[in-house]
Structure 1
Amino acid sequence: MTVQPIWPWWIMLPVVVAVVVFLAWTAVRSRLRSAGLRGWLLPSGLVVLLMLAALRPGLPGGSVRAAASDLNVFFVVDTTSSISAEDYGTGSPRLDGVRKDIMAIAGELAGARFSMITFDSQTVVRMPLTTDTSALDTLTGVLEPQITLYSTGSSVTAARTVLNERLGAARESHPERARIVFYFGDGEQTSGRAPEPMNVDASLVNGGAVLGYGTDQGGRMKEKTSYVADDAAGYIQDRSGESAGDAVSRIDEDTLRGIAAQLGVPYVHRAAGDGVAPMMQAARPGALHETTGSLEGRVELYWAPALAAFFLALWESLTVLRQLRQLRTGKREVRA
């Protein structure tokens, strides 16, 4: 069995030591009390299970392609309102195409480490580098545009600072791994001024692509009032002119080509029904070569202690609720 902790060892070891000391101190205090250790066991077990999950235990098993295992893949995703424009395929939002392509790339690069950065009025690292494709699948599935009320204009290069930081950190920690960047967007600049250059060091990017979504005709965008799906939501209105009407978002491929040139990667337009192969061939990093070799894979087991911790926490919650109910019943009987 092997472990791959979610934090570096220089962080993980002090945390483990602190937890052990805390549990020992709590056990001594519980022993000194008349109640004994009974009330200490359940919360202590919960803490231990969470620590085990954080250590990410696993067993050797399976194999991955050697070329893919040496990749750090960064997904930079536009989550502004325009990504919901309904001009992908037969009236679907552009975000549907983004979701589909993210998981297609992950499937083609099985064994790589993936990270996701989203940008709208804020830039957020949604997922640090990890080989856990199930986490990527879950995150991609719940990816939504920014709430319309919070949208105050955005820049297509808003993620440049965070992307530079993450690429630099990846090179520093694992310089032998190629760094691949996939940018997903429509190129629409709504901040009122020209986008600032990406300013990404060419040596930080070994390959990838800028993937564009949308059409010249454009599409209307549903309002996003909350992070809960609402089929009855109206469309965003264009109030820039004298007459109100549904706002239309159109792809700006010149801007996307400019971003691709700054990153040193190709630009590829994506439409419903486009295959995965052309996109991957265009994005193939020159530093990598095809290989028939494979590396030993790993079966993740972190879910077992995490699941046990969930049920333990659920049991504790039910116990607390039962005690509160008994306490309320006792108070009513005293008043009666």
Structure 2
Amino acid sequence: MTFAPILPWPVIALAFVCVLAFTGWAVATTRGTPYHRPARNTAFRCAAVVLLLLAALRPGLPGGHSQTAAADMDVYFVVDTSTSMAAEDYNGAETRLSGVRKDVMAVAKELAGAKFALITFDSKASVRMPLTGDATALQTAMTTLQPQNTRYAKGSSVSGASQLLKEKIAAAHKEHPGRPALVFYAGDGENTSADAPAPMDASNVAGGAVLGYGTAEGGRMKETTDADAGYVRDKTSDTPRDAVSKADEAQLRSIAEQLKVPYSHRTGTAPTSDMLGKAQPGALVANGDGPGRVELYWLLALAAFLIALNEPLRHLGALLNLRSAQQKEPSA
């Protein structure tokens, strides 16, 4: 027999202990008193909860076959949100970040059923969304994602999310050792930090891709997302002019080599399938039939349901007895 718990083992074990301790206390305090029926009812409730906890362990027996789905994986989107991602040189005059939004949601659609996490970095790295199977939450997070405001920009490193990404992947790998992790890094490669970028760690990374946005000619950036906002000005030049951000593909290719994943320059003209086809195909396609298992949790859940029927039946019986007693009472 095998188990595939839907909750961590410690949580289920703690719930078991609490339920048994409460039931033991309730039965002990009512034993030998006129309230022996409540003690029996408490025991019934305990049995139903225990059966549900056993069902949460998802017991099963080896047997049959199952389709090994490509969606059984963790997907980490690492997105550059520095000011340069507002540069208007993606697919004509769109911002680089708008291209990231399209590609992230396209990847999520192709890998429906996977768990997704969103990590962003500019002056600092942060987890915008922890691992979740809710694609709607990812869409909301990407829709509200904006480039860093220029007044708060203090320079960014292209590998600013390296340590945070490493920690999150390691934690997930420890909890689910056999679950592959894919990393999709999206940025323009422009390093504005005074320090040299630290290498990206490829530990536990099974696949993914580095997605590059922007052009070598570069593009201007608006100070904010407001329609009437002005463009960022170049303060390093003696001649007043708009600042231009240029993509650094060499830097992006270096990150791809460090993560051991392919690099894809995203211009808005190539379909997402072209990029996904290079992102470690073995990890992204179905692996065919594999050994399956016969689920037994439903038997435990059914038994819990039948025991729980004691409650409504008991109340129905009490209601009928009360009505019968009222009908037998002599009228005044």
TM over 0.5: yes
**Which amino acid is the alignment partner of residue 136 of structure 1?**
L
Tell me the distance in 2 between the aligned counterparts of 1:270 and 1:171.
Answer: 30
Tell me the distance in 2 between the aligned counterparts of 1:288 and 1:234.
Answer: 43
CA contact (8 A) 1:188 1:250 kept: yes
**Which amino acid is the alignment partner of residue 236 of structure 1?**
V
1:75 is paired with a residue whose SS is strand
State the partner residue of 1:282: 278
Tell me the distance in 1 between the aligned counterparts of 2:201 and 2:288.
Answer: 36
**Which amino acid is the alignment partner of residue 206 of structure 1?**
A
State the partner residue of 1:145: 147
Find out whether 1:73 has 2:69 as its counterpart.
Answer: no
CA contact (8 A) 2:70 2:287 kept: no
State the partner residue of 1:213: 213
Tell me the distance in 2 between the aligned counterparts of 1:117 and 1:153.
Answer: 18
CA contact (8 A) 2:261 2:280 kept: no
1:284 Cα deviation (Å)?
2.8
5+ residue gaps, structure 1, are 22-63, 296-336
Partner deviation per Cα, 1:258-297 (whole Å, 9 max, x = no partner): 00000000110001122011100011353565345699xx
Instruction: Pick from 253, 256, 263 the counterpart of residue 260 of structure 1.
Output: 256
CA contact (8 A) 1:208 1:285 kept: no
**Which amino acid is the alignment partner of residue 261 of structure 1?**
E
1:223 is paired with a residue whose SS is coil
Partner deviation per Cα, 1:37-85 (whole Å, 9 max, x = no partner): xxxxxxxxxxxxxxxxxxxxxxxxxxx9742232100000000000110
**Which amino acid is the alignment partner of residue 156 of structure 1?**
V
State the partner residue of 2:157: 155
**Which amino acid is the alignment partner of residue 184 of structure 1?**
A
CA contact (8 A) 2:210 2:261 kept: yes
State the partner residue of 1:243: 239
Tell me the distance in 2 between the aligned counterparts of 1:214 and 1:288.
Answer: 26
Within 5 Å, give how 1:88-237 maps onto structure 2. Answer: 88-201=90-203, 204-224=204-224, 229-237=225-233
**Which amino acid is the alignment partner of residue 118 of structure 1?**
T
1:165 is paired with a residue whose SS is helix
5+ residue gaps, structure 2, are 23-65, 293-332
**Which amino acid is the alignment partner of residue 220 of structure 1?**
R
Partner deviation per Cα, 1:287-321 (whole Å, 9 max, x = no partner): 565345699xxxxxxxxxxxxxxxxxxxxxxxxxx
Q: 1:220 to 1:288 in 2, by over 3 A?
A: closer
**Which amino acid is the alignment partner of residue 275 of structure 2?**
M
CA contact (8 A) 1:160 1:200 kept: no
Q: 1:286 to 1:292 in 2, by over 3 A?
A: closer
Q: 1:12 to 1:144 in 2, by over 3 A?
A: farther
**Which amino acid is the alignment partner of residue 144 of structure 1?**
Q
**Which structure has the larger Rg over C-alpha atoms?**
2
CA contact (8 A) 1:116 1:125 kept: yes
Q: 1:252 to 1:68 in 2, by over 3 A?
A: same
Tell me the distance in 2 between the aligned counterparts of 1:254 and 1:149.
Answer: 28
Q: 1:116 to 1:13 in 2, by over 3 A?
A: farther
Tell me the distance in 2 between the aligned counterparts of 1:123 and 1:272.
Answer: 26
Q: 1:244 to 1:164 in 2, by over 3 A?
A: same
What is the total number of aligned residue pairs between the two structures? Answer: 242
2:77 is paired with a residue whose SS is strand
CA contact (8 A) 1:237 1:244 kept: yes
Find out whether 1:270 has 2:272 as its counterpart.
Answer: no
State the partner residue of 2:47: none
Tell me the distance in 1 between the aligned counterparts of 2:14 and 2:243.
Answer: 54
1:148 Cα deviation (Å)?
1.3
1:208 is paired with a residue whose SS is strand
Tell me the distance in 2 between the aligned counterparts of 1:100 and 1:136.
Answer: 12
1:197 Cα deviation (Å)?
1.3
1:238 is paired with a residue whose SS is coil
Tell me the distance in 2 between the aligned counterparts of 1:244 and 1:231.
Answer: 22
1:69 is paired with a residue whose SS is coil
Q: 1:11 to 1:234 in 2, by over 3 A?
A: farther
CA contact (8 A) 2:68 2:286 kept: no
CA contact (8 A) 1:206 1:285 kept: no
Partner deviation per Cα, 1:164-202 (whole Å, 9 max, x = no partner): 00110111011111110000000001113321212332x
Aligned-residue CA RMSD (Å): 2.8
The share of aligned pairs that are identical, in percent, is: 51
